[in-house]
Amino acid sequence: MATFLSISASPQAISSTHAVLSHVNRRLLAAGHTVRTLPVRELPPGPLLAADSSDPEIAEAIEAVAGADALVVATPVYQAAYSGLLKVFLDVLPQFAFRGKSVLPIVTGGSPAHVLAVDYALRPILSALGAAHVGQGWFVPSSHIRVFADGGLVIDPSSLTPLAQVTDEFLDLVGARPAPTAPLPGRVDSAGGPRISAVAGHPDIEARRVIPGDPALAPLLSDLVIEYGTRYGRPSPNTQLTEVPTTDFLPPEGLFVVLVEGGVTVAGGAIRRYDEKTAEVKRVWTSHRHRRRGLARRVMAELEAAAAELGYLRVHLTTGPRQAEARDLYLASGYVPRFDQSADPETIGPLAFAKELVPGAGLPDWRHPTWAVQMDPDDRRQVHAAINGARR
């Protein structure tokens, strides 16, 4: 595991740049690395401007750079270049302070005219300081960044996705990123045969029904922690959306569905019991590398089919007020909102939706997924028969 130093170079106390950097840090932490943040604005201004490396705090900052395996350098665009605050800090460093290190540049700015500030302004000085590799980097327009008073942050998906991608590529560059989940071994379904369930339109994607603890769930669960932590900051009723016991997702009352492509989990979601006749959808997720492929719609269809098979008659779900994409997905999937759509979502909290299931509708064009869990087929059939009999 590597030690990262994230240098935050905005002079502002409430900073868009710092917020974006905090999100990148979450991704680095989730990959198992040590991350230290250096907000340059908190260094003593006198010694900083005088380039006094004998000052204990300045000396400690220089030491932090020397001790890092890799760095993230985040700055706003000021006057068409990186911030002056970043320049005065870089000026106190030794000439080749970044020698042998990988550096990821992140820039926020107000004008699309300065999208290339990463390349024409920041990249040259990082190279001049000896960086072995300067990552792809990314410019996030300030119009794509919304910082909330509670520490929450919403980044527009059109910036969030590439930001996540350049962060992943940087982790690959540093060479310490865990390998993608290996293909799972063949499993036995309830009928005793091998389970293959192609997803229509995506012949290489397989839908699997799995239980908590399955390794295919790892990317989904860790990414949801990053998503909720970023969007809601401090713990709140919205972050509690993820805080339900994993045992809730065990058959016969719940399960996870994952879409797996080439051995890698690309999307997923879960259902659990809400009441005797109602399933609750939770944890719907699509990998940032696989957005805009219609996978979340497919996950919803798979979950609804599974809920019907488990004997539920309707589906209930909630999403947070800062998840506009999820809200759009549920509306497009035929869910009826149970809140005032004209109100500011921030004043509502978790947003509730519901949908009646059509008995026997299933997945018309697709083969049904089968269970990817090792269960005694007879036990499961008996349990489901009992549940179906009681509910219908």
Ligand X SMILES: Cc1cc2nc3c(=O)[nH]c(=O)nc-3n(C[C@H](O)[C@H](O)[C@H](O)COP(=O)(O)O)c2cc1C
Which DSSP category does 129 fall into?
A: T
Q: Report the 10 Å Cβ neighbour count for 341.
A: 10
Cβ proximity to ligand X, 109 vs 233, nearer residue: 109
Binding to ligand X by residue 89, rule CB under 6 A? no
Stretch that binds ligand X, among 71-79, 129-137, 237-245, 338-346 (CB under 6 A): 71-79
Residue 317: name the closest of 339, 341, 295, 298 by CA: 339
Which one of 35, 105, 109, 163 is in contact with ligand X (CB under 6 A)?
109
- H or E element that contains 3: strand 3-8
Binding to ligand X by residue 323, rule CB under 6 A? no
Which one of 12, 53, 158, 382 is in contact with ligand X (CB under 6 A)?
12
Binding to ligand X by residue 77, rule CB under 6 A? yes
Binding to ligand X by residue 94, rule CB under 6 A? no
Rounded to the nearest whole angstrom, what is the least distance from the CB of residue 21 to ligand X in the complex? 9
Contact predicate 327/274, CB 8 Å: no
First to last CA, the chain: 53
Stretch that binds ligand X, among 10-18, 64-72, 304-312, 372-380 (CB under 6 A): 10-18
Decide the pairing of beta strands 351-356 and 336-337: antiparallel
Decide the pairing of beta strands 102-109 and 133-134: parallel
Contact predicate 139/117, CB 8 Å: yes
Binding to ligand X by residue 114, rule CB under 6 A? yes
Distance CA(69)–CA(242), nearest Å, equals: 33
Rounded to the nearest whole angstrom, what is the least distance from the CB of residue 19 to ligand X in the complex? 8
Binding to ligand X by residue 321, rule CB under 6 A? no
**In the block, which residue shows the tokens 């019991």?**
273
Which one of 44, 84, 94, 110 is in contact with ligand X (CB under 6 A)?
110
Q: Report the 10 Å Cβ neighbour count for 213.
A: 11
Residues facing residue 188 across a β-bridge: 194
Binding to ligand X by residue 152, rule CB under 6 A? no
Cβ proximity to ligand X, 14 vs 179, nearer residue: 14
Which one of 53, 111, 143, 240 is in contact with ligand X (CB under 6 A)?
111
Which one of 2, 6, 10, 295 is in contact with ligand X (CB under 6 A)?
10
Distance CA(336)–CA(83), nearest Å, equals: 48
Total binding residues toward ligand X, as defined by CB under 6 A: 17
Binding to ligand X by residue 143, rule CB under 6 A? no
Distance CA(22)–CA(145), nearest Å, equals: 13
Cβ proximity to ligand X, 79 vs 95, nearer residue: 79
**Which residues of the chain form contacts with ligand X (CB under 6 A)?**
10, 12, 15-18, 76-80, 108-111, 114, 142
